Chain A
Amino acid sequence: MRSLVHIVTALAVIGLAFWAYRENYRTQEALARADALQSDIATARQRLRMLGAEWAYLNRPERLLDLVELNFDRLGLMPLQPHQFGRIDQVTYPVAAQNLTITNPVDVMNDGEHP
């Protein structure tokens, strides 16, 4: 009986040691992966910054203005003017297909109100 306990304990120690060993290496691998991902993120961010700077450079108002002037015959863009503001009722509605023939507006308005 005592030897059985000894054997089981020894096996348990071996098993736990093996488990700890594997966990240690898995942790280290995960850390290395996280590091690699962080450095990927850093590279991506750096690239993003570069692209952001380039985007800002290409969209600088000075350049856009020059482009608008160069392509005036195609685009016809002018500075925004106060008179370009409008009210919503100045916009014409798209004409919907009408299936109600209105002959007398007064009749239509009173339709459905028969006593």
Chain B
Amino acid sequence: MIRTPLRPLARILDARRKGENPDAIERENIRLRIEEQRDRTRRRAEGRLLVLAGLFLAGFTVIGGQMAVLAQSEPAEPRSEASSARILAQRADITDRKGRVLATNFDTFSLYAQPPQMIDPEGAAIKLAAIFPDLDAERLRRDFTGTRKFLWLRRTLSPEQKQAVHDIGEPGLLFGPREMRLYPNGRLAAHVLGGAGFGNEGVSAAEVVGVAGIEKALDARLRDPARAHEPLRLSLDLSVQAALEKVLAGGMSIMNARGAAGILMEARTGEIVAIASLPDFDPNTRPAPPVEGRPDDSPLFNRAVQGVYELGSTAKTFTIAQALDRGQVTPDTIINTQSPMTWGKFRIRDYRNYGRELSVAQVLVKSSNVGTARIAIETGAEQQRAFLGALGLLDPVPLEITEAGGSQPLLPSNWSELSTMTISYGHGLAISPLHLAAAYATVVGGGRKVTPTLLHDPARAPGPRVISEATSATMRALLRQVVADGTASLAEVPGYAVGGKTGTADKPAPGGGYHKDKVIATFAGMFPADDPKYVIVVTLDEPVETSGDEPRRTAGWTAVPVAAEIIRRTAPLLGLRPAIEQAGAAAIRRVSN
């Protein structure tokens, strides 16, 4: 910039000529210069203020805009990673021990209606009734045209039904996604699985809750979101279960029985490989609980667990096992078996008279009530009670299904000497077939307490010792003898060395006393007898075998053949090789020429 001099020569000379003071010119110029400088500074300050105002305005606009956005938008968590796998199934699958599916989930839809949105309520009602025969058109019409704002129509739909409803084209009919429980095997293991239903229902989802069986007992485990992806593995074997149910159903119809129960259990671990109760039901369409009639006529009744009956002579095994374990008798000890035996006013009889005396082994093989009662009296009531308690026969069986709570054994109110004698041969103490299976597993499987379970666990700790290993081995030999030449001779399956004991008990009549011609026939056994792998219990309710001249009801003729057939069918499936007698030295031959 061009600086104006303070004392420009031309103006000084001019002023001097006119006689003015040239300093006035200098002061004037200084004033002008100062004014100019002041104006410049002000402009700059104003400009800076403007810029600052602009910045503040921009800042406040940004903050205000952000606040408006925050106020208007949906809140979202800031996230630093993608969500992990979503919870897919709300309920874990149930599989058998080899991973085959017993229960799984299925996606389907529920149907609901919102009448205010309907265009043609009358038409929709008629068309819906045509698709679902169980819906009433007149009632639907009243619901649709009335004041209702919302109503459920169906809980689940098949894809075809959904399409048919969709084709009605009514905007007031809406679908809600649902997850439903599916039992692909139908009736198989119905009593174990129980069934599932809907809990809290909403439009977009519904809870699936177990209503019975293992579905209810382990509901918390199955619904645990952290473990929903890992299936619950049962100890059941699908193919063995199918074979057991088929044979049992066949046996039940041949023996004209009212019901039947079968249990196949691993002798050492207590894992149940197959358990069935007939008649059964389809857990996909679980029937309503009975409101009249006898509860055990309902297919929902689980005879294997809830069916608490006096199981007859099968209990003699426990009496003799205890006496042997205490060292009270040996298998060769001679017992007085004079029948009838009189005890006060009470008489104990045998099925037929076995003579004056028998060895302990013969008492079991021939199933002498008198002999067993004499052994039990010598053992004593307290000891008997303690022993049966140690076997788990006095408490409900701790199986992982809700029905297990109904297996409370019926005990005599006063455990007198008479009770001791009757209980020794299986009367006066009512237990379930599952109790029996567990107690047999304990007695023959080495003497350690076996607790029945439905869960597959290869590393299960053995229970406390109840009887010694030696007594267990003796009992195995005795039970084998019962089958080889005793009351259970029909249980012989070549190659499998079955051992076991029959039991035939009169059914208690509703008004007290016992029925004359209605029995519970039971076979409890194990195979192979030298090293039992499996324990089997078969119970038939009111069986009659009518192939002979007169109807036969004893277990030896009814339950035992059914059990033998079950062993014949299932043992190969379980991978048990029959023990074949050595073929001799045929393979080695001397050759010379």
A residues at B contact (CB < 8 Å): 30-31, 34-35, 38, 41-42, 45-46, 49-50, 52-53, 55-57, 59-62, 65, 79-85, 87, 89, 104-105
Contacts and interface: CB of A to CB of B under 8 A. Distances in A.
B101 A62 contact: no
A65 B84 CA distance: 43
Nearest to A84: B572
Contacts of A85: 572, 577-578
B243 A62 contact: no
Interface string B483-499: 00000000001111000
A85 B580 CA distance: 10
B185 A62 contact: yes
Interface of B: 79, 81-86, 88-89, 100-101, 104-107, 182, 184-188, 238-239, 242-243, 246, 493-496, 568-569, 571-573, 577-578, 580, 587, 591, 593
A82 B578 contact: yes
Contacts of A30: 82
A61 B578 contact: no
B138 to A, nearest CB: 37
10 contacts: A34-B83, A42-B88, A45-B88, A49-B104, A53-B101, A60-B186, A62-B186, A82-B493, A87-B580, A104-B593
A53 B85 contact: no
B160 to A, nearest CB: 16
A60 B493 contact: no
A42 B85 contact: yes
Nearest to B572: A80
B85 A81 contact: no
A83 B496 CA distance: 11
B48 to A, nearest CB: 19
A56 B185 contact: yes
Contacts of B85: 38, 41-42
A45 B187 CA distance: 27
The 9 closest A-B pairs by CB, nearest first: A34-B82, A61-B242, A56-B184, A56-B101, A57-B184, A80-B572, A82-B578, A60-B185, A85-B577
Given A62-B186, A104-B593, A105-B591, A80 B573 contact: yes
Given A30-B82, A87-B580, 11 more contacts: A31-B81, A38-B86, A45-B88, A49-B88, A52-B101, A55-B101, A57-B182, A60-B188, A61-B242, A80-B572, A83-B578
A15 B101 CA distance: 59
Given A31-B79, A89-B587, A56 B104 contact: yes
B106 A38 contact: no
Contact of A46 (B100, B107, B494): B107
A104 to B, nearest CB: 7
A84 B105 CA distance: 38
Nearest to B571: A82
Contact of B86 (A31, A42, A49, A104): A42
Contacts of A82: 493-496, 568, 571-572, 578
Most chain A CB atoms below 10 A, which of B84, B104, B568, B591: B104
B578 A31 contact: no
Contacts of B580: 87
Contacts of B186: 60, 62
Contacts of A83: 495, 578
A35 B187 CA distance: 41
A68 to B, nearest CB: 12
A34 B79 CA distance: 13
Contacts of B187: 62
A43 to B, nearest CB: 10
A49 to B, nearest CB: 6
A50 B107 contact: yes
A115 to B, nearest CB: 24
Contacts of B82: 30-31, 34-35, 38
B180 to A, nearest CB: 10
Contact of A35 (B83, B101, B105, B496): B83
B569 A79 contact: yes
Nearest to B104: A53
Contact of B182 (A38, A53, A104): A53
A42 B88 CA distance: 7
Most chain B CB atoms below 10 A, which of A57, A59, A65: A57
Contacts of B242: 61-62, 65
Contacts of B184: 53, 56-57, 60
A50 to B, nearest CB: 7
A107 to B, nearest CB: 11
A104 B592 CA distance: 9
Nearest to A34: B82
Given A60-B185, A60-B188, A61-B185, A49 B573 contact: no
A20 to B, nearest CB: 15
Most chain A CB atoms below 10 A, which of B101, B494, B587: B101
